Amino acid sequence: MTRARCRALAGVAVGIVLLAACSKASPNALEPKGPDARSIADVAWLMFAMATAVYVVVAGFIIVGALRGAKASRISDNAFIWVGGLFAPIAILAILAVVTVKTTDSLRTPDPNPLKIEATGFQYWWAVEYPDEKVTTANEIRVPAGRPVEIGLHSKDVIHSFWVPELAGKVDMVPGQRNVIRFTADKPGEYRGQCAEFCGLQHAKMAFLVVAEEPGDYERWVIRQQRPRSGPSSEREAAGEQVFMRSSCAGCHAVRGTEAQGTLGPDLSDFGSRRTIGAVAVPNTRGHLAGWIENSQSIKPGNLMPPVQLEPDELLNLIEYLEGLS
Protein backbone atom coordinates (compact mmCIF):
# COMPACT_ATOMS: atom_id res chain seq x y z
CA MET A 1 0.00 0.00 0.00
CA THR A 2 1.36 3.45 -0.87
CA ARG A 3 1.93 5.94 1.91
CA ALA A 4 -0.73 8.31 0.50
CA ARG A 5 -3.36 5.59 0.41
CA CYS A 6 -2.42 4.54 3.93
CA ARG A 7 -2.87 8.10 5.15
CA ALA A 8 -6.24 8.41 3.39
CA LEU A 9 -7.46 5.21 5.03
CA ALA A 10 -6.30 6.36 8.45
CA GLY A 11 -8.13 9.65 7.84
CA VAL A 12 -11.37 7.84 7.03
CA ALA A 13 -11.04 5.67 10.14
CA VAL A 14 -10.50 8.70 12.39
CA GLY A 15 -13.45 10.42 10.68
CA ILE A 16 -15.76 7.50 11.41
CA VAL A 17 -14.74 7.42 15.06
CA LEU A 18 -15.26 11.19 15.40
CA LEU A 19 -18.66 11.00 13.67
CA ALA A 20 -19.74 8.22 15.99
CA ALA A 21 -18.62 10.23 19.00
CA CYS A 22 -20.19 13.52 17.86
CA SER A 23 -23.61 12.47 16.56
CA LYS A 24 -25.40 13.09 19.84
CA ALA A 25 -28.77 13.08 18.09
CA SER A 26 -28.75 9.34 17.52
CA PRO A 27 -29.16 7.06 20.52
CA ASN A 28 -26.16 4.97 21.47
CA ALA A 29 -26.52 1.46 22.89
CA LEU A 30 -23.13 1.98 24.56
CA GLU A 31 -24.50 4.92 26.57
CA PRO A 32 -27.24 3.05 28.45
CA LYS A 33 -29.88 5.00 30.40
CA GLY A 34 -31.33 2.08 32.35
CA PRO A 35 -30.30 -1.18 34.05
CA ASP A 36 -31.40 -3.47 31.20
CA ALA A 37 -29.50 -1.62 28.48
CA ARG A 38 -26.57 -1.36 30.90
CA SER A 39 -26.32 -5.12 31.32
CA ILE A 40 -26.35 -5.52 27.51
CA ALA A 41 -23.65 -2.86 27.12
CA ASP A 42 -21.57 -4.66 29.78
CA VAL A 43 -21.65 -7.86 27.70
CA ALA A 44 -20.67 -5.89 24.59
CA TRP A 45 -17.68 -4.35 26.40
CA LEU A 46 -16.60 -7.73 27.78
CA MET A 47 -16.70 -9.19 24.26
CA PHE A 48 -14.75 -6.24 22.95
CA ALA A 49 -12.12 -6.57 25.71
CA MET A 50 -11.65 -10.29 25.09
CA ALA A 51 -11.46 -9.85 21.31
CA THR A 52 -8.91 -7.08 21.80
CA ALA A 53 -6.81 -9.29 24.11
CA VAL A 54 -6.82 -12.13 21.54
CA TYR A 55 -5.89 -9.70 18.79
CA VAL A 56 -2.99 -8.22 20.77
CA VAL A 57 -1.61 -11.66 21.72
CA VAL A 58 -1.82 -13.03 18.17
CA ALA A 59 -0.39 -9.86 16.62
CA GLY A 60 2.38 -9.96 19.27
CA PHE A 61 3.32 -13.50 18.28
CA ILE A 62 3.44 -12.51 14.61
CA ILE A 63 5.76 -9.58 15.36
CA VAL A 64 7.99 -11.69 17.65
CA GLY A 65 8.12 -14.43 15.01
CA ALA A 66 9.02 -12.00 12.27
CA LEU A 67 11.82 -10.44 14.35
CA ARG A 68 13.34 -13.73 15.59
CA GLY A 69 14.20 -14.86 12.08
CA ALA A 70 15.18 -18.52 11.75
CA LYS A 71 16.09 -19.20 15.44
CA ALA A 72 14.34 -22.32 16.77
CA SER A 73 11.50 -21.76 19.26
CA ARG A 74 11.92 -22.77 22.91
CA ILE A 75 8.22 -23.64 23.16
CA SER A 76 7.11 -26.84 21.43
CA ASP A 77 4.60 -26.70 18.56
CA ASN A 78 2.31 -29.04 20.49
CA ALA A 79 2.10 -26.66 23.46
CA PHE A 80 1.01 -23.86 21.09
CA ILE A 81 -1.67 -26.04 19.55
CA TRP A 82 -3.05 -27.26 22.89
CA VAL A 83 -3.05 -23.90 24.61
CA GLY A 84 -3.66 -21.46 21.74
CA GLY A 85 -5.83 -23.70 19.60
CA LEU A 86 -7.92 -25.49 22.22
CA PHE A 87 -7.76 -24.38 25.88
CA ALA A 88 -7.75 -20.60 25.33
CA PRO A 89 -10.68 -20.56 22.81
CA ILE A 90 -12.71 -22.94 25.00
CA ALA A 91 -12.11 -20.78 28.08
CA ILE A 92 -12.99 -17.54 26.24
CA LEU A 93 -16.15 -18.95 24.63
CA ALA A 94 -17.21 -20.59 27.90
CA ILE A 95 -16.94 -17.29 29.78
CA LEU A 96 -18.95 -15.47 27.08
CA ALA A 97 -21.57 -18.24 27.00
CA VAL A 98 -22.13 -18.09 30.77
CA VAL A 99 -22.26 -14.29 30.84
CA THR A 100 -24.62 -14.12 27.82
CA VAL A 101 -27.03 -16.74 29.17
CA LYS A 102 -27.08 -15.11 32.62
CA THR A 103 -27.71 -11.66 31.15
CA THR A 104 -30.47 -12.90 28.83
CA ASP A 105 -32.08 -14.68 31.72
CA SER A 106 -32.07 -11.59 33.93
CA LEU A 107 -33.53 -9.50 31.06
CA ARG A 108 -36.40 -12.00 30.84
CA THR A 109 -37.15 -12.13 34.55
CA PRO A 110 -40.43 -10.32 35.27
CA ASP A 111 -40.14 -7.35 37.64
CA PRO A 112 -42.47 -6.99 40.61
CA ASN A 113 -45.39 -4.65 39.85
CA PRO A 114 -44.36 -3.42 36.39
CA LEU A 115 -46.31 -0.84 34.40
CA LYS A 116 -48.06 -2.89 31.72
CA ILE A 117 -48.30 -1.58 28.17
CA GLU A 118 -49.30 -3.19 24.86
CA ALA A 119 -47.64 -1.83 21.71
CA THR A 120 -48.66 -2.74 18.16
CA GLY A 121 -46.60 -2.11 15.04
CA PHE A 122 -48.37 -0.88 11.91
CA GLN A 123 -46.80 0.14 8.62
CA TYR A 124 -45.15 2.81 9.74
CA TRP A 125 -46.39 3.83 13.17
CA TRP A 126 -47.02 2.45 16.67
CA ALA A 127 -50.27 2.01 18.60
CA VAL A 128 -49.81 2.17 22.38
CA GLU A 129 -52.28 0.91 24.98
CA TYR A 130 -52.26 0.98 28.78
CA PRO A 131 -54.73 -1.83 29.59
CA ASP A 132 -54.95 -1.21 33.36
CA GLU A 133 -55.33 2.56 32.96
CA LYS A 134 -57.58 2.14 29.88
CA VAL A 135 -55.61 4.76 27.98
CA THR A 136 -54.71 4.68 24.27
CA THR A 137 -52.10 6.75 22.46
CA ALA A 138 -49.62 6.40 19.59
CA ASN A 139 -45.99 6.94 18.64
CA GLU A 140 -45.06 8.25 22.10
CA ILE A 141 -44.81 5.92 25.07
CA ARG A 142 -45.04 7.79 28.36
CA VAL A 143 -43.59 6.00 31.36
CA PRO A 144 -42.70 7.03 34.92
CA ALA A 145 -38.92 7.16 35.41
CA GLY A 146 -37.58 4.52 37.79
CA ARG A 147 -40.54 2.12 37.46
CA PRO A 148 -40.07 -1.17 35.55
CA VAL A 149 -42.11 -1.31 32.34
CA GLU A 150 -43.34 -4.47 30.64
CA ILE A 151 -44.48 -4.05 27.05
CA GLY A 152 -46.39 -6.73 25.11
CA LEU A 153 -45.41 -6.48 21.44
CA HIS A 154 -47.79 -7.17 18.54
CA SER A 155 -48.07 -6.52 14.82
CA LYS A 156 -51.12 -6.01 12.62
CA ASP A 157 -49.35 -6.45 9.25
CA VAL A 158 -45.70 -7.45 8.74
CA ILE A 159 -42.80 -8.10 11.11
CA HIS A 160 -41.51 -4.99 12.87
CA SER A 161 -38.87 -4.77 15.58
CA PHE A 162 -39.04 -2.67 18.73
CA TRP A 163 -35.72 -1.08 19.64
CA VAL A 164 -34.87 1.69 22.11
CA PRO A 165 -31.07 1.42 22.17
CA GLU A 166 -30.57 3.43 25.37
CA LEU A 167 -33.11 1.41 27.36
CA ALA A 168 -33.23 -2.20 26.15
CA GLY A 169 -32.40 -4.78 23.53
CA LYS A 170 -34.33 -5.41 20.34
CA VAL A 171 -37.46 -7.59 20.22
CA ASP A 172 -39.45 -8.45 17.07
CA MET A 173 -43.16 -7.69 16.67
CA VAL A 174 -44.58 -10.72 14.90
CA PRO A 175 -48.15 -10.95 13.56
CA GLY A 176 -50.25 -13.39 15.61
CA GLN A 177 -47.76 -13.58 18.46
CA ARG A 178 -47.15 -11.66 21.69
CA ASN A 179 -43.52 -11.04 22.58
CA VAL A 180 -42.49 -9.14 25.68
CA ILE A 181 -39.81 -6.53 26.36
CA ARG A 182 -38.90 -5.15 29.77
CA PHE A 183 -36.97 -2.05 30.74
CA THR A 184 -36.65 0.72 33.28
CA ALA A 185 -35.60 4.30 32.53
CA ASP A 186 -33.29 5.64 35.26
CA LYS A 187 -34.18 9.29 34.78
CA PRO A 188 -36.76 11.49 33.05
CA GLY A 189 -35.87 12.10 29.41
CA GLU A 190 -36.75 11.35 25.80
CA TYR A 191 -35.40 8.11 24.41
CA ARG A 192 -35.68 7.53 20.68
CA GLY A 193 -36.91 4.17 19.47
CA GLN A 194 -36.71 2.79 15.96
CA CYS A 195 -38.25 -0.04 13.97
CA ALA A 196 -35.30 -2.37 13.44
CA GLU A 197 -36.77 -4.77 10.89
CA PHE A 198 -37.25 -3.69 7.27
CA CYS A 199 -41.04 -3.47 6.97
CA GLY A 200 -41.66 -1.49 3.79
CA LEU A 201 -41.07 1.82 2.07
CA GLN A 202 -41.10 4.04 5.16
CA HIS A 203 -39.40 1.63 7.56
CA ALA A 204 -36.61 4.15 8.23
CA LYS A 205 -39.17 6.77 9.31
CA MET A 206 -40.96 4.35 11.64
CA ALA A 207 -39.59 5.75 14.87
CA PHE A 208 -41.11 6.55 18.28
CA LEU A 209 -40.23 8.19 21.56
CA VAL A 210 -40.18 6.75 25.04
CA VAL A 211 -40.87 9.77 27.23
CA ALA A 212 -39.88 9.04 30.82
CA GLU A 213 -41.39 11.54 33.25
CA GLU A 214 -41.33 12.20 36.97
CA PRO A 215 -43.97 9.82 38.42
CA GLY A 216 -46.23 12.77 39.36
CA ASP A 217 -46.16 14.17 35.81
CA TYR A 218 -46.90 10.73 34.40
CA GLU A 219 -49.87 10.31 36.79
CA ARG A 220 -51.24 13.70 35.74
CA TRP A 221 -51.05 12.66 32.06
CA VAL A 222 -52.92 9.42 32.82
CA ILE A 223 -55.63 11.25 34.74
CA ARG A 224 -55.99 13.75 31.89
CA GLN A 225 -56.45 10.86 29.45
CA GLN A 226 -59.04 9.18 31.67
CA ARG A 227 -61.20 12.25 32.16
CA PRO A 228 -64.15 12.60 29.78
CA ARG A 229 -63.36 15.13 27.08
CA SER A 230 -64.48 18.64 27.88
CA GLY A 231 -65.21 19.48 24.24
CA PRO A 232 -63.84 22.27 22.04
CA SER A 233 -62.76 25.39 23.93
CA SER A 234 -63.21 27.91 21.10
CA GLU A 235 -65.36 28.48 18.05
CA ARG A 236 -62.46 27.65 15.78
CA GLU A 237 -61.88 24.36 17.58
CA ALA A 238 -65.57 23.54 17.37
CA ALA A 239 -65.51 24.24 13.63
CA GLY A 240 -62.34 22.13 13.34
CA GLU A 241 -64.02 19.26 15.13
CA GLN A 242 -66.86 19.46 12.59
CA VAL A 243 -64.34 19.22 9.74
CA PHE A 244 -62.63 16.25 11.40
CA MET A 245 -65.89 14.36 11.91
CA ARG A 246 -67.35 15.18 8.49
CA SER A 247 -64.29 14.48 6.34
CA SER A 248 -62.40 11.24 5.96
CA CYS A 249 -60.26 11.78 9.12
CA ALA A 250 -62.74 10.16 11.52
CA GLY A 251 -62.84 6.99 9.43
CA CYS A 252 -59.17 6.29 10.11
CA HIS A 253 -58.45 8.05 13.41
CA ALA A 254 -59.93 7.83 16.89
CA VAL A 255 -60.39 10.72 19.33
CA ARG A 256 -61.48 9.64 22.81
CA GLY A 257 -64.99 10.71 23.74
CA THR A 258 -66.10 11.43 20.16
CA GLU A 259 -67.71 9.44 17.38
CA ALA A 260 -64.32 9.20 15.66
CA GLN A 261 -63.23 5.62 16.33
CA GLY A 262 -61.11 4.72 13.28
CA THR A 263 -58.24 2.32 13.80
CA LEU A 264 -56.36 2.49 10.47
CA GLY A 265 -54.26 5.43 11.71
CA PRO A 266 -52.84 6.58 15.06
CA ASP A 267 -55.21 7.48 17.92
CA LEU A 268 -55.16 11.28 18.13
CA SER A 269 -56.67 11.76 21.61
CA ASP A 270 -53.52 13.46 22.97
CA PHE A 271 -52.05 14.60 19.65
CA GLY A 272 -51.64 18.22 20.77
CA SER A 273 -49.12 17.18 23.42
CA ARG A 274 -47.14 14.91 21.07
CA ARG A 275 -43.67 16.10 20.19
CA THR A 276 -43.66 14.85 16.60
CA ILE A 277 -45.86 14.09 13.58
CA GLY A 278 -45.73 10.89 11.53
CA ALA A 279 -43.86 8.66 14.02
CA VAL A 280 -41.01 11.16 14.59
CA ALA A 281 -40.87 12.14 10.89
CA VAL A 282 -41.09 15.90 11.66
CA PRO A 283 -41.53 18.07 14.80
CA ASN A 284 -45.13 18.82 15.81
CA THR A 285 -45.38 22.43 14.62
CA ARG A 286 -48.21 24.29 12.87
CA GLY A 287 -46.39 24.42 9.55
CA HIS A 288 -45.54 20.73 9.55
CA LEU A 289 -49.07 19.82 10.62
CA ALA A 290 -50.57 21.82 7.74
CA GLY A 291 -48.15 20.15 5.33
CA TRP A 292 -48.93 16.73 6.81
CA ILE A 293 -52.71 17.07 6.44
CA GLU A 294 -52.55 18.51 2.91
CA ASN A 295 -50.14 15.90 1.65
CA SER A 296 -48.34 13.68 4.12
CA GLN A 297 -46.82 11.89 1.13
CA SER A 298 -44.45 14.82 0.59
CA ILE A 299 -43.13 14.35 4.16
CA LYS A 300 -43.22 10.56 4.38
CA PRO A 301 -43.65 9.12 0.86
CA GLY A 302 -45.45 5.80 0.80
CA ASN A 303 -47.11 6.14 4.22
CA LEU A 304 -50.73 4.99 4.38
CA MET A 305 -52.47 8.35 4.92
CA PRO A 306 -53.89 9.82 1.69
CA PRO A 307 -53.69 13.55 0.85
CA VAL A 308 -56.84 15.40 1.96
CA GLN A 309 -58.29 18.36 0.02
CA LEU A 310 -59.58 21.14 2.32
CA GLU A 311 -60.49 24.80 2.02
CA PRO A 312 -57.88 27.08 3.69
CA ASP A 313 -60.19 28.07 6.57
CA GLU A 314 -61.21 24.43 7.10
CA LEU A 315 -57.53 23.52 7.35
CA LEU A 316 -56.87 26.29 9.88
CA ASN A 317 -59.80 25.22 12.06
CA LEU A 318 -58.76 21.60 11.84
CA ILE A 319 -55.23 22.47 12.95
CA GLU A 320 -56.63 24.46 15.88
CA TYR A 321 -58.71 21.43 16.87
CA LEU A 322 -55.81 18.96 16.62
CA GLU A 323 -53.48 21.22 18.61
CA GLY A 324 -56.12 21.40 21.36
CA LEU A 325 -56.23 17.63 21.81
CA SER A 326 -54.24 16.70 24.88
* End-to-end alpha carbon distance in the chain: 62
DSSP assignments along 19-85, one per residue: HHHH-TTS--TTS-SSHHHHHHHHHHHHHHHHHHHHHHHHHHHHHHHHHHTTPPPSS-HHHHHHIII
Nearer to ligand HEC, 182 or 253 (CB): 253
What kind and span of H or E run contains 292? helix 286-295
In 6-38, which positions are buried (b, 16+ CB within 10 angstroms) versus exposed (e)?
eeeeeeeeeeeeeeeeeeeeebebeebbbbbbe
Nearer to Cu ion, 15 or 175 (CB): 175
Q: Is 17 in the site for ligand HEC (CB under 6 A)?
A: no
Residue numbers 112-131 binding ligand HEC by CB under 6 A? 124-125
Instruction: Report CA 266 to chain centroid distance, whole Å.
Output: 17
Quote the CA–CA distance of 283 and 24 in Å, as a whole number: 18
Least distance from C-beta 202 to Cu ion, angstroms?
A: 8
Nearer to ligand HEC, 50 or 308 (CB): 308
Nearer to ligand HEC, 182 or 256 (CB): 256
Residue numbers 54-83 binding ligand HEC by CB under 6 A? none
Q: Is 33 in the site for ligand HEC (CB under 6 A)?
A: no
CB 31 within 8 Å of CB 166? yes
SS3 category, 288? helix
- Residue 160, binding choice from ligand HEC, Cu ion, none, Cβ under 5 to 8 Å by partner class: Cu ion
- Residue 248, binding choice from Cu ion, ligand HEC, none, Cβ under 5 to 8 Å by partner class: ligand HEC
Choices 12-20, 101-109, 112-120, 251-259 (CB under 6 A): range interacting with ligand HEC: 251-259
Nearer to ligand HEC, 28 or 247 (CB): 247
Quote the CA–CA distance of 263 and 254 in Å, as a whole number: 7
- Residue 33, binding choice from Cu ion, ligand HEC, none, Cβ under 5 to 8 Å by partner class: none
Cis peptide before 124 (omega within 30 of 0): yes
Nearest 5°: the CA angle 212, 216, 222 is: 75
Question: 252, 282, 290, 316: which one contacts ligand HEC (CB under 6 A)?
Answer: 252
What is the binding site for Cu ion (CB under 5 A)? 160, 195, 199, 206
Question: 194, 225, 303, 317: which one contacts ligand HEC (CB under 6 A)?
Answer: 303
Residue numbers 254-273 binding ligand HEC by CB under 6 A? 264-266, 268, 271
Say how many residues touch ligand HEC, by CB under 6 A: 31
- Residue 41, binding choice from ligand HEC, Cu ion, none, Cβ under 5 to 8 Å by partner class: none
Give me the half-sphere count of Cα atoms (radius 13 Å) on the Cβ side of residue 127.
21
Question: 308, 316, 323, 324: which one contacts ligand HEC (CB under 6 A)?
Answer: 308
Choices 63-71, 90-98, 226-234, 305-313 (CB under 6 A): range interacting with ligand HEC: 305-313
Nearest 5°: the CA angle 244, 308, 250 is: 30
Least distance from C-beta 87 to ligand HEC, angstroms?
A: 54
Choose among 138, 145, 136: nearest CA to 166: 145
Query: Which strands make up the sheet holding 160-163, listed edge to edge?
Result: 140-144, 207-213, 189-195, 160-163, 170-173
Residues interacting with ligand HEC, by CB under 6 A? 124-125, 138-139, 202, 244, 247-249, 251-253, 264-266, 268, 271, 274, 277-279, 292-293, 300, 303-306, 308, 318, 322
